[in-house]
Chains A and B, each alone.
Chain A
Amino acid sequence: MRRVVVTGLGVVTPIGNDVRTYWQNLLAGKNGVGYITRFDASNFSVKIAAEVRDFDPPSIISPKQLRRMDLFNIFAVQAAKEAIEDAQLNMEPENPYRVGVSISSGIGGLELWEKQHMRLLESPTKVSPFFIPMMIVNVASGDVAIRWGMKGPNYSVVSACASSAHAIGEAFELIKRGDADVMIAGGAEAPVTPLSIAGFANMKALSTRNDEPEKASRPFDKDRDGFVVGEGAGILVLEELDHARRRGAKIYAEIRGYAATADAYHVTAPDPTAESQSYAIKRVLDKAGVKPDEIDYINAHGTSTPLNDKIETIAVKKALGDHAYKVAITSTKSMIGHLLGAAGAVELIATILSVKEDKVHPTINLEEPDPECDLDYVPDGARDMEIRYAISNSFGFGGHNAVILVSKHEE
């Protein structure tokens, strides 16, 4: 059986534009939410977001290319560059057809879409010839392949806020079934744009805690009132174990399983019975041959919306039984907001580092737990603890559920 390990990590996030900074800030409980600076949000009901700060596009993107890339694609290239360098993956000796790319996004080039639509209203002849190739969700996956000469399987799986979890899960399966030896997998999103913030705000999905941005993302807290839009990218290098060994690559962790289900209930609201979410967790345990009481850590989807956190809690209880009360559960979104299509990837990266270092980051802003959220969400700072197996949950509008299970790598 082919085994899949993680050999490289890369991120761009609201609390760090490299993996080391991101991880240190997660452990320190640093808040990444503030006032929107990308556009004038003064007449918006939501004026806050978790924006990426102090970001310089990598020099491998030429000035000419830079003008022809949406921000989400720029984030993706930076995170891919960090992950590929971290893995010390040199394409020269590789068979390019054995290295693929699976980078997704929930929405794609939304900012560009908005700007080009303004041009369309002036005249159809003013729409950029680059509009379509810059905007499509899969352009980041294609761009990374072009830059590094990777000719293996390449496409983008789209499932809203679960996009990058599915993208990584499917990349894992591609390697397992023998279609590739290495996959560059993850997601990127740049949704801090007027149309996106207005759309999510009018759904009443977002926190309106405009007077206290640093307290707005508060998963599992009784006063949570919605999620905070975040932006960035997370990219992993997944690699077949023997291939990684032959190159002498360092190994962060092993991906042990991936399961996906659908609620088949409602486009935006999760099924209140949590049946399909819990089934996905049970299924990933089955596929990995791991017992419920061997799970020590869950990186929750934990969005800070009233419905998600309550129903995710039910799903964990249904899947793990009494053991649910002994598992450490944390929400990365409490610090970086919701990176939508990139969320699953940056959160899986946090999960992998937790497993590798036997440490979990806290859930910040959890001041008074919702009585219906009665599990251990690690509210009081980072925790040192032994982790045998961990899972990362991702759920998306449309009712898409994806769960990935990781463990330490043991020979």
Chain B
Amino acid sequence: MTRDEIKQKVVDIIIEKLGVDPSAVTEGAHFIKDLGADSLDTVELLMGVEETFNVEIPDEEAGKLETVGKVIDYLAQKLS
């Protein structure tokens, strides 16, 4: 899967789970500060990512995935 393909899927999950405007979902966007998520939202979001990409994100890694770009980078590395 290319980085662009990963990005498209991640963005779709974020739009669905957080109910945000697509234009707000930039790579630099912080889930809590920029996209209005709370701690439970971010848990649910990463569960959606795990399900879609069939990966397991360990808790110590999950804590670091605070922005859209970091999630994409993490997946790109993991799936390469």
Give A contacts to B, CB under 8 Å: 62-64, 125-126, 128-130, 133
Contact = CB atoms under 8 A, between A and B. Distances in A.
A125 B47 contact: yes
Nearest to A128: B44
Nearest to A127: B47
Contacts of A130: 40, 44
Contacts of B47: 125-126, 128-129
Nearest to B39: A129
Given A64-B17, A125-B47, A129-B44, 4 more contacts: A63-B19, A64-B19, A125-B56, A129-B47
Q: Which 7 residue pairs spanning A and B have beta carbons closest together?
A: A64-B19, A129-B43, A129-B40, A63-B19, A129-B44, A130-B40, A128-B44
Interface in B24-61: 40, 43-44, 47, 50-51, 56
B6 interface: no
B21 to A, nearest CB: 12
A125 B50 contact: yes
Contacts of B43: 129
A169 B15 CA distance: 44
13 contacts: A62-B19, A63-B19, A64-B18, A125-B47, A125-B50, A125-B56, A126-B51, A128-B44, A128-B47, A129-B40, A129-B44, A129-B47, A130-B44
A130 B43 CA distance: 9
A119 B40 CA distance: 18
Main secondary structure of the interface of B (DSSP, over half): helix
Nearest to B19: A64
A63 B18 CA distance: 9
A330 to B, nearest CB: 44
Task: Give the residue among A62, A128, A133 with the most B Cβ atoms within 10 A.
Answer: A128
Task: Give the residue among B40, B43, B50, B56 with the most A Cβ atoms within 10 A.
Answer: B40
B41 to A, nearest CB: 8
Contacts of B19: 62-64
Nearest to A62: B19
Contacts of B51: 126
B19 to A, nearest CB: 3
A133 B41 CA distance: 13
A126 B40 CA distance: 14
Contacts of A133: 40
A125 B43 CA distance: 11
A129 B40 CA distance: 6
Contacts of B18: 64
A130 to B, nearest CB: 6
A128 B47 CA distance: 8
A151 B40 CA distance: 23
A63 B17 CA distance: 10
Task: Give the residue among A128, A129, A130 with the most B Cβ atoms within 10 A.
Answer: A129
A73 B2 CA distance: 42
B11 to A, nearest CB: 16
A116 to B, nearest CB: 12
Nearest to B37: A64
Contacts of B50: 125
Contacts of B17: 64
A130 B50 CA distance: 17
Task: Give the residue among B18, B19, B43, B51 with the most A Cβ atoms within 10 A.
Answer: B19
B75 to A, nearest CB: 17
Nearest to B57: A125
Nearest to B43: A129
Contacts of A63: 19
Nearest to A63: B19
Contacts of A129: 40, 43-44, 47
A130 B47 CA distance: 12
B22 to A, nearest CB: 14
B54 to A, nearest CB: 12
Contacts of A125: 47, 50, 56
B47 to A, nearest CB: 7
A287 B43 CA distance: 52
B39 to A, nearest CB: 8
